[in-house]
Amino acid sequence: MDPRRELPSVDRLLRAEGAAPLVAAFGRDVVADALREALTEFRAKLRPGDPPPSERAVLERAAALLACWHTPRPRPVINATGVILHTNLGRAPLSEAALEAIRAAAAYSDLEFDLEKGERGERQAAVEELLRRLTGAEAALVVNNNAAAVLLALTVMARGRGVLISRGQLIEIGGGFRIPEVMAQSGARLIEVGTTNRTHLRDYEEPLARGEDIALILHAHHSNFRMIGFVSEVPLAELVALGARYDVPVMDDLGSGALLDTAAFGLAHEPMVQESVAAGAAVVCFSGDKLLGGPQAGILVGKRELLARMRRHPLMRALRPDKLTLAALSATLIHYLKGEATREIPVWRMIATPLEELEGRAQACAARLRAEGIPAEVRPTRSTIGGGSLPGETLPSAALVLRPPDPEALVAALRRADPPIIARVQEDAVWLDLRTVRPDQEDALLRGIRLAWSRVGAQGES
């Protein structure tokens, strides 16, 4: 007999005793939908000779579906991977001040209202002022991400005209977005110069000297990869000087957008926004949610006249950020203005945390786990920046290491914790890097480890 014929009906399940609390909590219609989906899942898995699922099993699956449907997303997780700017986990976590600014802006606010004059104001005025002060630029503009910033700038400055860029800088960013494709969408004409590994000043100058219709020189930073060996690129300042001779502006796409010197924390020097502005770039664009440590945003700083043209362009209406993004970005920038970024912005706090502090925290956590019979150890490891920033650069860190019989089963169980814990499998063990775990998350981390270990960690132990 086909076991699918023995599956209970939705009506029968709705009359079951176990359905009553679900109906009370979620309503009959939604519970019926969940039961239908649960039955469809079981029906797809059943094979001839298999026993049909019990009513209880179907109701439990429906309850799990209902819980999933009614849980807001994205959910907070504990990042124990050691990747500071983890793209899949939302990149930069926001500071407490940024979160409070979002809560405040969710109500009525002075988003586009000048309190001094009592009339309509400019929605980006406050953020622009902060960016001008921090970068030294004449003007600033915020859109919804850095790809949008590049698209807007190219559309306004170079539509229908040529843009010079080194072949070694035709980068692809996360999600498959490529500079040539963004340029094509803007209507600009791509003019590649130099070679993949070596580009010289003369390569840029030749099409300019020939009198080609060049609107812009684009310089793109290698945010997510590194070129080594027989390579050379033209420094930004030399491109600016060349552009000045031919009256062609230079745009610098920095990607990550550091406002602090990463070299001060034992990392390679990441080009800073202030340096690009000082070098004379007409427009500099970068992300808000990478090394800046704020919300997702694309930020443009540079010459007043150019940014004024972008502000007036119809595309700006489609790319502008909402009030919550502006609020969080403003609060993040104020941390830099007050000189407290390494204390208040989570990304920089993680980067700046000394190894000795991480080792002490890891040893304390391991001791608590061992006291409960979980054989945890502490091992040295390396944390990465991630998020397309500082490729190949790492920081020394300390990790909790667990060696269950089945590491993959344990990391899966950790993902089912509340809150979910994201760890990594390495050397047939489960590693949890403390650099990306906040101290106030340690109790939840240990609670999740205990629960996961009790379910799968000790299986197979003698």
Torsion of the alpha carbons at 309, 311, 313 and 316, rounded to the nearest 10: 150
Residue 459 has a pLDDT of 60
Give me the mean pLDDT over the 92-110 stretch.
Answer: 95
Q: Determine the Cα–Cα distance for residues 114 and 437; give it in Å rounded to an integer.
A: 41
Task: Tell me if 1 is assigned to some domain.
Answer: no
224 and 277 assigned to the same domain: yes
138 and 254 both lie in a single domain: yes
3-state helix, strand, coil in the chain (%, to 5): 50, 20, 35
| Per-residue pLDDT at 391 exceeds 90 | no
Q: Report which of 271, 192, 197, 189 is spatially closest to residue 236, judged by C-alpha positions.
A: 271
For residue 360, the Cα-to-chain-centroid distance in whole angstroms is: 28
In a shared domain, residues 278 and 414: no
The helix (run of H) or strand (run of E) holding residue 400 is strand 389-402
Are 346 and 84 a contacting pair, CB within 8 Å?
no
On whether residue 13 sits in a domain, the answer given is no
C-alpha radius of gyration, the chain, whole number:
27
Q: How many domains does the chain have?
A: 3
Residue 48 has pLDDT above 60, yes or no: yes
Residue 136: is its pLDDT beyond 50?
A: yes
Given a cut of 90, whether residue 131 has pLDDT beyond it is yes
244 & 389 share domain = no
Q: Are residues 424 and 339 part of one domain? A: no
Identify the CATH number of the domain in which residue 411 sits: 3.90.1150.180
Give per-residue pLDDT as tens, 181-228.
888 888 899 999 888 788 999 999 999 999 999 999 999 887 656 666
Q: Choose the weakest-confidence range: 90-99, 118-127, 346-355, 446-455.
A: 118-127
Containing domain of residue 357, as a range?
A: 78-87+348-457
Residue 134 counted as domain residue: yes
pLDDT reading at 45 higher than 60: yes
Question: Within this chain, do residues 159 and 290 fall inside the same structural domain, yes or no?
Answer: yes
Domain-ending residue, one of 344, 372, 400: 344
Give the pLDDT of residue 231: 76
286 and 202 in one domain?
Answer: yes
What sign has the CA pseudo-torsion 218, 219, 223, 228?
positive
- Domain check: are 328 and 449 in the same one? no
Tell me how far apart the alpha carbons of residues 299 and 277 are, in angstroms, rounded to a whole number. 13
